[in-house]
Amino acid sequence: MKIDGHTRVAGIFGDPIGHTLSPAMHNAAFKAIGLNAVYIPFHIKADSKGALKAAVEAVRAMNMLGVNVTIPHKERVFKFLDEADEHAIDIGAVNTIVNRDGRLFGYNTDGAGYLLSLRKDTGFRPTGKRVVIIGAGGAARSILYSILGLKPASVVLANRTVKRADSLAKEFAPKFSAAVETAALEKAVMEKVLSSADLVVNTTSIGMMGKGELGLPIGALPSKAVVSDIVYRPLKTGLIKDAEKRGLKIHTGLGMLVRQGAIGFELWTGKKAPVSVMEKAALKVLRQ
Ligand code: NAP
């Protein structure tokens, strides 16, 4: 990598940040398309007063291309931006900031990245389909929002804390004039819910680093259903392995990670993202 007086800088703000795969993906992408730019992780501590504001201001002051924003800053960052995309506003979180001549624009590319990778990897389109989303946290918000935008036949939101699912359903359903049912993550309830699902997606952190078991009764799913898991460490979670054993179509979390990054890359550079290069770079780190 050559760094000189013309090198542009992008990066990611988060706390913790040591685990991020984004530098590997984006630096490989810059290199592949011959762009004089570098992507750096920045540990912006959540408990350091004024740090996030100063970091966002630095994007402008240092004429950076932009940054990604990850946990725990995605919601708080809004107030430091000049503008935000309507989807990011509705979702209530920004994961990508773009610097356009000193004006900072916020986007949320998670939901679009998820849908794009789902379609590329499995051919699945949610329109007219019965979708079950497990979880009601930050990732579920982006995915529910994006799926509702494509007019599914039905959506069930199942979460350990049903109240949290209820409040998310109440918030989003009217925006899309849709009905969003909620359910408890209990075996008998899930057997019924899954028996008529076309897609089930895990958006919880269960399965991350091999920890925990969702215990979904996937035997109840119709044989043509797609099983999707946004957790990408390990590449194949217990849920994905079970689905594979049953011969169901699977969709793993790496695709979402790569596609949300690729959309951000295109917003920063105006150039087509080399998606397969980004995927290879992320895979290399995951396999180390
Ligand atoms: P979050 O906002 O903290 O939400 C966590 C969700 O997991 C909640 O629904 C929570 O349920 C549920 N949960 C946690 N522990 C549980 C347990 N032991 N039993 C049952 N439910 C449990 O987190 P997030 O930001 O949505 O992220 C969730 C996961 O998605 C993480 O593993 C993250 O790495 C992954 N992710 C992947 C991508 C990608 O690009 N592939 C993008 C974003 C996130 P309660 O409401 O009951 O607490």
pLDDT for 271: 97
Please classify residue 101 by burial: count the beta carbons closer than 10 Å to its beta carbon, then call 0-12 exposed, 13-18 middle and 19+ buried.
exposed
The region of weakest confidence among 1-15, 141-155, 208-222, 269-283 is: 208-222
Tell me the two tokens of residue 31. 């290199």
Q: Is 75 exposed, middle or buried (0-12, 13-18, 19+ CB in 10 A)?
A: middle
Residue 43: strand, helix, or coil: strand
Q: What pLDDT does residue 211 have?
A: 80
Dist CA 39 CA 106 (whole Å)? 18
pLDDT given at position 246? 96
Q: pTM, whole model, 2 decimals? A: 0.95
Q: Which of 110, 204, 231 to mutate to test the pocket of ligand 1 (most atoms within 8 A of CB)?
A: 204
Q: Is the CB of 260 under 6 A from ligand 1?
A: yes
pLDDT attached to residue 124: 97
Protein fold of 8-108+256-287: Rossmann fold (3.40.50)
- pLDDT of the residue at 79: 96
pLDDT for position 2: 85
Q: How confident is the model at residue 201 (pLDDT cuts 50, 70, 90)?
A: very high
Task: Look at residue 172 in the predicted model and tell me its pLDDT.
Answer: 96
pLDDT at 1 over 80: no
According to DSSP, the residues that pair with 106 across neighbouring strands are 84, 97
Domain ranges in the chain are: 8-108+256-287, 111-251
State the pLDDT confidence band at 207, using cuts at 50, 70 and 90.
confident
Q: What number is the average pLDDT over the span 231-258?
A: 96
User: Is 254 in contact with 9 (CB distance < 8 Å)?
Assistant: no
3-state helix, strand, coil in the chain (%, to 5): 45, 20, 35
Q: Which residues of 226-239 are buried (b: 16+ CB within 10 A; e: fewer)?
A: bbbbbbbbbebbbb
What are the backbone angles phi and psi of residue 165, rounded to the nearest 5°?
-65, -40
Which spans in 35-161 are helix H? 51-61, 86-91, 110-122, 138-148
Q: Which atom belonging to ligand 1 lies closest to the Cα atom of 212? A: 18
Q: Give the residue-averaged pLDDT of 4-12.
A: 97
pLDDT single digits (tens) 25-59: 999 999 999 999 999 999 999 999 999 999 999 99
The ligand 1 atom nearest the CA atom of 114: 40
- Encode pLDDT of 164-178 as tens digits: 999 999 999 999 999
Atom 31, ligand 1: residue with shortest CA distance: 205
What is the number of alpha carbons within 13 Å of residue 42 lying toward its C-beta?
A: 21
User: What DSSP designation does 42 have?
Assistant: E
Q: Is 192 a catalytic residue?
A: no
Q: Of all protein residues, whose CA lies closest to atom 48 belonging to ligand 1?
A: 161
In the chain, what percentage of residues exceed pLDDT 90? 95
- 56-98 pLDDT, tens digit per residue, is 999 999 999 999 999 999 999 999 999 999 999 999 999 999 9
The topology under which CATH files domain 111-251 is Rossmann fold (3.40.50)
The active-site residue, picked from 31, 53, 74, 175, is 74
Going from the Cα of 29 to the center of ligand 1, the distance in angstroms, rounded, reads: 28
> What is the CA(161)–ligand 1 centre distance, in A?
12
CB 242 within 8 A of CB 218: yes
How far apart, in Å, are the Cα atoms of 164 and each of 70, 88, 149, 168?
A: 21, 20, 21, 6
Cα–Cα distances in angstroms (integers) from residue 276 to residues 35, 39, 200, 246, 280, in the given order: 17, 18, 26, 28, 6
- Span 235-246, mean pLDDT? 95
**Sign of torsion over alpha carbons 24, 281, 22, 271:** positive
The pLDDT of residue 209 is above 80? no
pLDDT at 288: 86
Q: Nearest residue CA, atom 20 of ligand 1?
A: 160
pLDDT at 285: 95
Residue nearest to atom 8 of ligand 1 (CA): 137
232 C-beta closer than 6 A to ligand 1: yes
Q: Is the CB of 22 under 6 A from ligand 1?
A: no
Rg for the chain, CA atoms, rounded: 19
Q: State if residue 143 touches ligand 1 by the CB under 6 angstroms criterion.
A: no
Does the beta carbon of 138 lie inside 6 Å of ligand 1?
Answer: yes
- What confidence score (pLDDT) does residue 210 get? 76
